[in-house]
A = this chain, B = another copy of it.
Amino acid sequence: MFNPFFKKHGPFDIGHLLKTSNTPNLENYSKIIVKDIKDLTTAEKNTITFFHSKKYEIVASKTKASFCITTNILSKLLPENCKPIIVDNVLIATANITKVFYADAVVDNFDHTVEFIENINFKNKIKYGKNVLIGKNVKIGENCSIGHNSIIESNVLIGDNCSIGSNVIIRKTIIKDNVNILDGCVIGKKGFGFFPIQNENIRYPHIGIVIIENNSEIGCGSTIDRGSLSNTIIGKNTYLDNQVHIAHNNKIGDNCIIAGQVGLAGSSILGNNVVIGGQAGISGHLTIGNNIKIGGGSGVIKNIADNTKVMGYPAKNLKNFIKDNK
């Protein structure tokens, strides 16, 4: 994953890493170098991963990570190459270790490095409004425009022929070519992910980013949160209407149409040619196939197979919805 946004600290000796993050080191590991923290699938040798639920059993059994934060019971399911780090609460330990690698990805304070665009080199090649703020190392292609009061934070990449509206905030995001971001959007803030603890929830770093592919459009006042360990992706030629909320880690395919006030709860995968009516909601961790129509106001709480039309709360096959509501 190309990710210009988060400075990764390390590598660390495993003993040092566990100590710094207040993680118990029951097996007294040391001397092995750990370069990064990754999810079970993308982890490689000399990285650390985490495994907190039996439903990830199959990917866990094949992980290439050198270490895995997990529970005593789940640790039996890991392959030999992967040494378990047994903890009481996998997610909290994972957050703590991730914070050592990515200290600056926990909160989203505003980017204080921005400058008025008048002070930036590329000001001559784009059309810009009043009071536009640009962070360090931002790159913008040919023939773009940025509206009034918009803020493009550090390291954001924008392709050619993009139109950014007014009052827009973009951070930790890669935007490809021919993309329109309409007024008032907030793109790339950290997701709504934390560990609920009485009196003081624990935030974890969000080191995923937002990627918006070619020819897409994001409607006014929409919010697209960046991923935690993976990215949030808007596919090619996918159009979002106003006031849409795309939570962290969602991956939306190409040629989708998402009407006003739709919400995606997080970590779902949508195929191509998915059409979603206004105010529909999609629960988290679902797989929505290709060529799907989801009626307005639906509440989708199960996976949807290819070439299906659904409607209802909870969403069911459209024919059944019509029959049941005659």
Contact = CB atoms under 8 A, between A and B. Distances in A.
A271 interface: no
A200 B215 contact: yes
A151 B151 contact: no
Given A297-B281, A299-B296, A223 B200 contact: no
- Chain A interface size, under 10 / 10 to 19 / 20 to 34 / 35 or more: 35 or more
Main secondary structure of the interface of A (DSSP, over half): loop
21 contacts: A108-B182, A109-B147, A110-B148, A112-B145, A114-B130, A167-B167, A182-B189, A192-B219, A192-B239, A192-B259, A194-B239, A198-B237, A198-B255, A199-B237, A199-B254, A201-B239, A265-B278, A278-B283, A279-B281, A283-B296, A296-B299
Interface in A200-240: 200-201, 215, 219-221, 223, 225, 236-237, 239
A263 B147 CA distance: 26
A315 to B, nearest CB: 10
Number of copies: 3
Nearest to A165: B110
A24 interface: no
Interface string A238-263: 01011101010000001101011101
B283 A192 contact: no
A133 B165 CA distance: 15
A186 B255 CA distance: 26
Interface centre among A127, A178, A198, A220 (most CB of B within 10 A): A220
A326 to B, nearest CB: 10
Nearest to A239: B201
Contact of A109 (B112, B163, B243): B163
Contacts of A198: 237, 255
A149 interface: yes
A166 interface: yes
A33 to B, nearest CB: 35
Contacts of A114: 129-130, 148
A255 B196 CA distance: 8
A122 interface: no
